[in-house]
Amino acid sequence: MNRSGLLFPGLFATFAISLSVMVFAPYSQIGTLAPDFKEEDGAISDVYPNAVAGLPEVGKRVYVSQGCQACHTQIVRSNLSADIKRGWGARRTVARDYVLEKGAAFGSTRLGPDLSNLGSESWRNEPIGDLDKPAKRDAQWHYLHLYNPLAINKYSIMPAYSHLFEVRKVSGLGSPEALVLPKESAPEAGFEVVPSADAKALVAYLASLNRSHPLKEAGAVSVAQKK
């Protein structure tokens, strides 16, 4: 090519176009969103989203460090997908949901269910009426599920996160935090399984996941779905 002089400016132009369209344009649109709130008589209420803080914040680091995002997403898509019908959320998630998060764990593959709203009471991963749906997914349920997923779902392909737990000798009356385990996954007599600090933080984070607060840009949410 005799016009080699055009190569660098030309290539840089394609790069600049890509950077402007793919990065700067969306930044100007969604990068500077502020949390949503209600204002009545000068009083601000109903602020959403709130920053992840305290134990859940530690738990989020555990979540990312364990690589949970390799199999779990935190994105609920619109009704063109089955995400909402599956019970993963009352509405699709939008940019404002994540606006306070540094390093939001979007995930890219669903070998497990979406967890955007895992902490919400209406979250489910079973079809309506399925008898496998647990009565509630409380901390005990999460501990058991993390310690041995097969104890909850015999078809689960989730690995056991037993390294987040300590198997130790029972002393005295035993720890109040000890897991109530079914016979197949229980340790030998005289031993108990207790969650580590990481497991506690992780479960606190999972329980805090709730992106179902109504937002205008996410479309109307019916009252029935909200509850």
Partner 1 sequence: MSEVTAPLHTAQAPVAQISAPVEQDTRPAIDRSIRSVVTSLFATGVVWLLLSTLLSFVSAIKLQYPAFLNYSFLSYGRVTPAADFTLAYGWSALGLIGVAIWVLMRLSKRVAIGKGIACLGVGLWNLGLLIGTVSILVGEMRPFNGLEMPLSSAVLIFAGFSLVALWILLSLRVTESGLSIGALFIVGGLLWFGWSFLTGNLLTSCPSMRGATEQVIATWVSHGFIWLFLAPVALGVAYFLIPKVTGQPLYSGPLGRICFWLYFLVGGLTCMTGLSGGPIPLWLQSVSAAATILLLVPVAGSVFNLLTTASSSPLTKVSPAANFTRFGLVVFVSAAALSAISSFRSVSFAVHFTLFPMGVKLLLLQGFVGMVVFGAIYFIMPRLSGCEWISSSLIKIHFLCAAYGAAMGGAMLVLSGTFAGIDLADSGVAFSQSMQSSAFFYWGRTLSFALLGIAYAAFTLHFLLMVFRIGQPEGEATLLKGSHGH
Number of residues that bind partner 1 (CB under 8 A): 77
Q: Which among 62-70, 136-144, 181-189, 201-209 is the span making contact with partner 1, rule CB under 8 A?
A: 62-70
Name the β-bridge partners of 38: 45
> Do residues 122 and 128 lie in contact, with contact meaning Cβ atoms separated by under 8 Å?
no
Nearest distance, CB of residue 71 and partner 1, angstroms: 7
Instruction: State how far the Cα of 112 lies from the Cα of 79, in Å rounded to an integer.
Output: 20
Distance CA 195, CA 70 (A): 23
DSSP 213: S
- Residue among 1 and 189 whose Cβ is closer to partner 1: 1
Residues within window 94-123 making contact with partner 1, judged by CB under 8 A: 94-95, 97-113
CB closer to partner 1, 9 vs 176: 9
Asked if 21 is part of the footprint of partner 1 (rule: CB under 8 A), the reply reads yes
Task: Select 126 or 177, whichever has its Cβ closest to partner 1.
Answer: 126
At closest approach, how far in Å is the CB of 223 from partner 1?
21
Give yes or no for residue 66 binding partner 1 (CB under 8 A): yes
Residue 225 CB, nearest approach to partner 1 (Å)? 14
d(CA 117, CA 36): 18
Q: Which of 30, 55, 186, 221 binds partner 1 (CB under 8 A)?
A: 30
* CA atoms of 205 and 152, how far apart (whole Å): 20
3-state secondary structure 62-103: HHHHCCHHHCCCCCCCCCCCCCCCCCCCCCCCCHHHHCCCCC
In degrees rounded to 5, what are phi and psi of residue 192?
Answer: -135, 160
| Interaction between residue 197 and partner 1 (CB under 8 A) | no
| Residue from 8, 34, 39, 136 in contact with partner 1 (CB under 8 A) | 8
Smallest distance, Å, CB 27 to partner 1? 5
Q: Pick the binder of partner 1 from 162, 185, 196, 225 (CB under 8 A).
A: 162
How far apart, in whole angstroms, are the C-alpha atoms of residue 173 and residue 115? 36
